[in-house]
Amino acid sequence: MEVGFLGLGIMGKAMAANLLRHGFRVTVWNRTLSKCQELVALGATVGETPAAVVAKCRYTIAMLSDPIAALSVVFDKNGVLEQIGNGKGYVDMSTVDAATSSKISEAVKQKGGAFLEAPVSGSKKPAEDGQLVILAAGDKALYDDMVPAFDILGKKSFFLGEIGNGAKMKLVVNMIMGSMMNALSEGLSLADNSGLSPQTLLDVLDLGAIANPMFKLKGPSMLKGSYNPAFPLKHQQKDMRLALSLGDENAVSMPVAAASNEAFKKARSLELGDLDFSAVYEVLKGGGSSQA
Amino acid sequence: MAAAAATHLSVRAAPALRLRGKGTCRLLSCYASSSPPPPSSGEGFSGKVGFLGLGIMGAPMASNLIKAGCDVTVWNRTKSKCDPLLSLGAKYESSPANVALSCDVTFAMLADPESAVEVACGANGAAQGMAPGKGYVDVSTVDTATSKLIGKHITSTGASFLEAPVSGSKKPAEDGLLIFLTAGDDSLYNRVAPLLDVMGKSRFFLGDVGNGAAMKLVVNMVMGSMMVSFSEGVLLSEKVGLDPNTLVEVISQGAISAPMFSLKGPSMVKAAYPTAFPLKHQQKDLRLALALAESVSQSIPTVAAANELYKVAKSLGLADQDFSAVIEALKAKEQNPQP
């Protein structure tokens, strides 16, 4: 199968590489073209622009960092819209709000193309290992066509119905995740400031009802002050913001999500935005002092 | 900021072989070959065990001790709650003091700091039956000051004291899979280790009195906050037209998959909250955690926000429901809420 791939950041690079390693023919594009070279070494061809990629490929996947980038790749000069049309499919795996996804969907369909939103749950390592969870919605026939690619990229795919449902599901999951990271950070900070061993707290948490892979994976590196970005904090905060907007639109009460978002904003103001989202611990950690 | 020295032991919850002896509780447990046997294996616990407080947690814990062959004497404020234990072979005494007097080690599992203090230090309280050579193990969840107060009353009689709050609710209690977070007298800890291994799957010794209490509060505050985040997600997913059961399934596939979500998610979606951990106790734990945080000036914003919702849930008459009922606090308030 041949696919186009737009966007070779933390996620896109790993995903494109995975497809290449499993025998897919892949034509790549990235805003900073030099990033394509690593994929070329794995057998990819390069498209000079998103339009060039779409012209060449029947199916094109996009993995961009935020709504602005996702829209730009579609609507700007030399964008996807210039070449999308009948018989072609566009699959946006970026995490965006439902309105952005709808806008892209309408524009693609108007040109005769098929559109699928398919944001993923999972960060760098699951992307490398093909263990993503794919939350697709939109054109069912396009979804069916993409299953061979999804089977390589992920461990499980969901088809959630109409456009917007994939985007919303992703935002809800990431909202819970962001709040959980704050709860963990608060726990580790309080343990530390109360004369307890934060590592012991991690050990206890790992034995009980709230044990989860994220705490297990990130807890130890948080205690070492190590925040290599698997999922950049600025993107997590973007997701919290989008989830809160969704809550606003529907008058859903979300006080813990709101409190979590505040901590992520504070972290960004402290220039921690490019670190892993677990760096929010640095914000909570600072807020205490040992008992005399 | 010295980290408390912690020793930790994980044991398999394998069936214990019971060899009955007079007044002796001999426990031989089977372990996977990869795990080293704990120091107490083969020795067992000799002596009579008291158990004060037979609520949601106390009853199955005491029952597990009896089934393992221990000589158990019980007391409960509402006497009728003792009957199931008596029919399993437990003895009964009419006050905490009399239980303590007749036993070598006495456990207490009470609902909150007030009852823990009352049972230990009040009129006819356990302290009055304590003496050198005896031990008191308080497995209630209380604040550090209460634990230290109880500890002082107990040790002033010459007896030893161990605080030992547990992580785990009704089912882990029934299945003998609790996690003990102990602190205080380490000789008493070693002495009762075989009993903890009957009731639990794992035990930690965390140093001075107060450390066990604090650790339990920190664990439960993370849990209380997580339950509210999950509730926000379930409600938001419903409101925007997603199937909340699909949300639960998606979560179970990813990095934030936790037993609590898979276990409670489906019933929360159906607005059912069978009580494994009463909401009023979760809110009590958050209140105590916030006080602990205040004592060291530690900011814990999501816990503070979560606490507000548990308070709202209590005002809606949900105090005795499972703590997952906090989701109701996020919904639009009803005029005549169902208790």
Check which CATH number belongs to the domain holding B290 and give it: 1.10.1040.10
Report, as an integer, the average pLDDT of A202-219: 98
Q: Give chain A's radius of gyration (CA, Å).
A: 20
- With bands split at pLDDT 50, 70 and 90, how would you rate the model's confidence at B38? very low
Number of domains chain B is built from: 2
Q: Is B28 inside any structural domain?
A: no
Residues 6+ apart with CB under 8 A from A76: none
- Minimal Cβ distance to A194: which of B214, B241, B254: B214
Q: How crowded is residue B336: how many other Cβ atoms within 10 Å of its Cβ?
A: 6
Whether residue B7 is contained in a domain is answered as no
B155 and B286 co-located in one domain = no
* Together in a domain, B236 and B160: no
**A132 touches A157 (CB < 8 A):** no
The answer to whether residue B246 scores a pLDDT higher than 80 is: yes
Does pLDDT of B7 surpass 80? Answer: no
Residues 282-321 of B with CB under 8 A from A: 289, 292-293, 295-306, 308-309
- Give the span between the Cα atoms of B222 and B275, in whole angstroms: 19
Closest residue in B to A284 (Cα–Cα): B299
Three-class SS state of B65? helix
User: B151-172 pLDDT, tens per residue?
Assistant: 999 999 999 999 999 999 999 9
Query: Would residue A170 show up in a list of annotated catalytic residues for this protein?
Result: yes
The CA-atom distances, in angstroms, between A138 and each of A6, A63, A83, A168, A242 are: 19, 17, 20, 13, 20
Neighbouring CB atoms inside 10 A of B20's CB total 10
pLDDT confidence of residue A112: 98
Contact yes or no for B255 and A212 at CB 8 A = yes
Phi-psi group of B247: left, alpha or beta (phi > 0 → left; psi -120 to 50 → alpha; rest → beta): alpha
Query: Is residue B205 located within the same domain as residue B291?
Result: no
Of the candidates A191, A259, A284, the beta carbon closest to that of B218 is on: A191
Chain B closest-CA separation from residue A107 CA (Å): 23
Distance from CA of B69 to the nearest CA of A (A): 27
The span from the CA of A74 to the CA of A101, in Å, is 11
- State how far Cα B261 lies from the chain centre: 20
- Give A119 or B5, the one with higher predicted confidence: A119
Token readout for B275 is: 């009580």
B225/A207 touch (CB, cutoff 8 Å), yes or no: no
The domain defined by A168-291 carries CATH number 2.60.40.10? no
At residue B16 the predicted structure's pLDDT band, cuts being 50, 70 and 90, is very low
pLDDT in tens, A5-30: 999 999 999 999 999 999 999 999 99
- At B22, the pLDDT band (50, 70, 90 cuts) reads very low
Q: How far apart are CA A55 and CA A33, in angstroms?
A: 18
The backbone torsions φ and ψ at residue B216, rounded to the nearest 5 degrees and listed phi first, read -60, -40
Q: Check whether B249 has a pLDDT greater than 60.
A: yes
Tell if the CB–CB gap between B219 and A211 is shorter than 8 Å: no
Mean pLDDT of the residues in chain A = 96
Strand order of the sheet with strand B16-21? B16-21, B24-29, B45-46
Q: How far is CA A241 from CA A230, A260, A292, B47, in A?
A: 20, 10, 39, 60
CB of B278 closer than 8 Å to CB of B322: yes
CA-CA distance, B207 to B338, in Å (whole number)? 45
User: Does residue B59 sit in the same domain as residue B189?
Assistant: yes
Q: Nearest Cα to A57, choosing from A5, A3, A15, A115?
A: A3
Asked if B218 and B101 sit in the same domain, the reply is: no
Put simply, the answer to whether B229 touches A183 (Cβ < 8 Å) is yes
Q: Residues B82-118: pLDDT tens digits?
A: 999 999 999 999 999 999 999 999 999 999 999 999 9
% of residues, chain A, pLDDT over 90 = 97
What is the pLDDT, as a whole number, of residue B315? 97
Whether residue B202 sits in one domain with residue B82: yes
Residue of A nearest to B260 (CA): A209
The average pLDDT across B58-78 equals: 97
Structure tokens given for A99 = 């309105």
- Judged by a CB distance cut-off of 8 A, whether residue A252 touches chain B is yes
**Per-residue model confidence as pLDDT tens digits over A125-163:** 999 999 999 999 999 999 999 999 999 999 999 999 999
Task: Calculate how close chain B gets to A47, using CA atoms only, in Å.
Answer: 33
| Paired residues of B204 in beta bridges | B8, B181
- In terms of domains, do B161 and B231 share one? no
Q: Are B296 and A194 in contact (CB under 8 A)?
A: yes
- Of B177, B209, B241, the residue at which a domain comes to its end is B209
* ipTM (interface predicted TM): 0.93
Quick one: tokens of B64?
């597990």
Nearest CA in chain A to B241: A165
Facing residue for A252 by CB, picked from B235, B255, B304: B235
Q: Which of A191, A205, A256 sits opposite B229 (nearest CB)?
A: A256
pLDDT tens, A96-115? 999 999 999 999 999 999 99
Model confidence at A291, in pLDDT bands (50, 70, 90)? Answer: very low
CA-nearest residue to B290 within chain A is: A190
Closest-CA residue of A relative to B242 is: A165
Pick from B176, B209, B242: which residue ends a domain?
B209
**Which position has the token pair 């964008």?**
A79
Chain B residue with minimum CA distance to A178: B229
Give the pair of three-digit tokens for residue B13.
């919850």
Domain final position from B209, B243, B278: B209
- Examine the domain organization and report whether B199 and B242 are in the same domain: no
- Would you tell me how many other CB atoms lie within 10 Å of the CB of residue B98? 18
State which residues form the domain around B187: 44-209
Query: Count of alpha carbons within 13 Å of A291, Cβ hemisphere only?
Result: 12
Residue B193 has pLDDT above 90, yes or no: yes
Look at B206 and A196 and tell me if their CB atoms are within 8 Å: yes
CA A94 vs. chain centroid, Å, equals 6
Cβ contacts (< 8 Å) between A176 and chain B: which residues? 229-230, 232-233, 251, 256
Does residue B2 sit within a domain?
no
- Grade residue A274 by pLDDT with cuts at 50, 70 and 90: very high
Residue B73 has, within 13 A of its CA and on its CB side, a CA count of 21
Judgement on whether residues B204 and B220 belong to the same structural domain of the protein: no
Q: What tokens appear for B49 in the block? A: 């065990």
The pLDDT value given to residue B44: 84
Per residue in B71-82, pLDDT (tens digit) is: 999 999 999 999
**Do A184 and B222 count as a contact with CB atoms less than 8 A apart?**
yes
Convert the pLDDT of each residue in A32-83 to its tens digit: 999 999 999 999 999 999 999 999 999 999 999 999 999 999 999 999 999 9
At B333, the pLDDT band (50, 70, 90 cuts) reads: low
Q: Is residue B31 part of a domain?
A: no
- Out of A225-234, B4-13, B24-33, B299-308, pick the least confident: B24-33
What's the pLDDT score for residue B339? 55
| Position B134 pLDDT exceeds 70 | yes
Residues B187, B72 within the same domain: yes
- Residue B8 within any structural domain of the chain: no
**In chain A, domain spans:** 2-163, 168-291
Residue pair B336/B257 in contact by the 8 Å Cβ criterion: no
- Do B195 and B293 lie in one domain? The reply is no
The minimal CB distance from B237 to the residues A172, A184, A197 is found for: A172
Residue corresponding to tokens 């005494």: B93
The answer to whether residues B187 and B51 belong to one domain is yes
Supply the pLDDT for residue A49.
98
Q: Is A46 on the interface with B (CB under 8 A)?
A: no
Inter-chain residue contact B296 with A177, CB threshold 8 Å: no
Would you say B136 and B130 are in contact if contact means Cβ atoms under 8 Å apart? yes
Interface touch A186/B303, C-beta < 8 Å: yes
Per-residue burial over A15-33, b = 16 or more CB atoms within 10 Å of its CB, e = otherwise: bbbbbbeeebebbbbbeee
Cβ–Cβ below 8 Å for A257 and B232: yes
Q: Are A243 and A176 in contact (CB under 8 A)?
A: no
Write down the pLDDT at residue B2. Answer: 44
Best interface-test mutation with A: which of B169, B170, B222, B247 has the largest number of A CBs within 10 A? B222
Report residue B11's pLDDT band, with 50, 70 and 90 as the boundaries: low
pTM, two decimal places: 0.90
Within a domain: B21: no
Architecture of domain A2-163: 3-Layer(aba) Sandwich (3.40)
Query: Looking at this protein, which amino acid is placed at residue A248?
Result: D
Are A183 and B229 within 8 A, CB to CB?
Answer: yes
